[in-house]
Structure 1
Amino acid sequence: MTIKDRVQQEKQQEQVYQPVFYRLKDKTQQQALEELVSAHPYIRVYDEIISQLRELVKSLHPTKRLTEEEIEVAVKEHVGSTPLEQYGVWVYYPWIHKVVHIVDEEEFILLRTSRNLHKITAEERDILRKKKLGVIGLSVGQSIALTLVMERLCGEIRLSDFDALELTNMNRIRTGIHNLSIPKVIIAAREIAELDPFVKVVCYTDGATEQNLDDFLTKDGQLDILIEECDGIDIKIISRIKAKALKMPVVMEMNDRGMLDIERYDLHPDYPMMHGLIPDIDPLKLKHLSNEEKVPILGPMVGMQDMSPRMKYSLSEIGKTITTWPQLASSVVLGGAMVADTCRRILLNQLQSSGRYYVDFDKLIS
Structure 2
Amino acid sequence: MNPIEARHWISAEDKDLKTVSFFHLSFPEQRAAFEELIQHTPAIQVYDTIWQQLQELMKTRHPAEKLSPDLLQQKAAAHIGNGPADEYGVWVYYPWSQRLVHILDEAEFVEMRTSRNQHKITAAEIKTLAAKKIGIIGLSVGQSAALTLAIERLCGEIRIADFDTLDLSNLNRIRAGIHNIGLPKTTIVAREIAEIDPFLKVTCFEKGITEDNIEDFLQEGGRLDVLAEECDSMDIKILSRQRARAMGIPVVMETSDRGMMDIERFDQEPQRPLLHGKVPDDLSYTTIRQFSGEQRMQVALNILDYDNISEKLRSSIHEIGKTITTWPQLASAVALGGAMVAHVCREICLEHNIPSGRYYVDPDQLFKL
Same fold (TM over 0.5): yes
Deviation string, structure 1 residues 329-360 (Cα, Å, up to 9, x no partner): 00000001111111111111112300000001
Cα pair distance change 1:272/1:281, threshold 3 Å:
closer
- Aligned equivalents of 2:224 and 2:14: distance in 1? 29
Partner of 1:316: 318
Deviation string, structure 1 residues 281-312 (Cα, Å, up to 9, x no partner): 33223236575542212111122210000001
Deviation string, structure 1 residues 259-278 (Cα, Å, up to 9, x no partner): 00000011111111111112
Partner of 1:101: 102
Q: How far did residue 70 of structure 1 move? A: 1.4
Q: How far did residue 72 of structure 1 move? A: 1.4
- Aligned equivalents of 1:14 and 1:178: distance in 2? 19
- Aligned equivalents of 1:13 and 1:241: distance in 2? 32
Partner of 1:124: 125
Q: Aligned AA for 2:197?
A: D
Cα pair distance change 1:340/1:165, threshold 3 Å:
same
Deviation string, structure 1 residues 236-265 (Cα, Å, up to 9, x no partner): 000000000000000000110000000001
Runs ≥4 residues deviating over 6 A: none
Partner of 1:178: 179
> Does the 8 Å contact 2:93/2:100 carry over to 1?
yes
Q: How far did residue 140 of structure 1 move? A: 1.0
More displaced stretch, 349-358 vs 287-296: 287-296
- Please state whether the residue corresponding to 2:227 is helix, strand or coil: strand
Q: How far did residue 318 of structure 1 move? A: 0.6
Q: How far did residue 214 of structure 1 move? A: 0.3
Partner of 1:362: 364
> Does the 8 Å contact 1:13/1:95 carry over to 2?
no
> Does the 8 Å contact 1:15/1:186 carry over to 2?
no
> Does the 8 Å contact 1:135/1:160 carry over to 2?
yes
Partner of 1:298: 300
RMSD of aligned Cα (Å): 1.3
Unaligned runs of 5+ residues in structure 1 are: 1-11
TM-score (norm 2): 0.94
Partner of 1:212: 213
Unaligned runs of 5+ residues in structure 2 are: 1-12
TM-score (norm 1): 0.95
> Does the 8 Å contact 2:239/2:284 carry over to 1?
no
- Aligned equivalents of 1:282 and 1:236: distance in 2? 11
Partner of 1:250: 251
- Please state whether the residue corresponding to 2:17 is helix, strand or coil: coil
Q: Aligned AA for 1:81?
A: N
- After the TM superposition, which residues 223-302 of structure 1 pair with which residues of structure 2 at under 5 Å, given as runs? 223-279=224-280, 280-287=282-289, 292-302=294-304
- Aligned equivalents of 2:293 and 2:141: distance in 1? 18
Kindly, what percent of the aligned residue pairs are identical? 52
> Does the 8 Å contact 1:225/1:251 carry over to 2?
yes
Count residues in correspondence.
355
Cα pair distance change 1:248/1:346, threshold 3 Å:
same
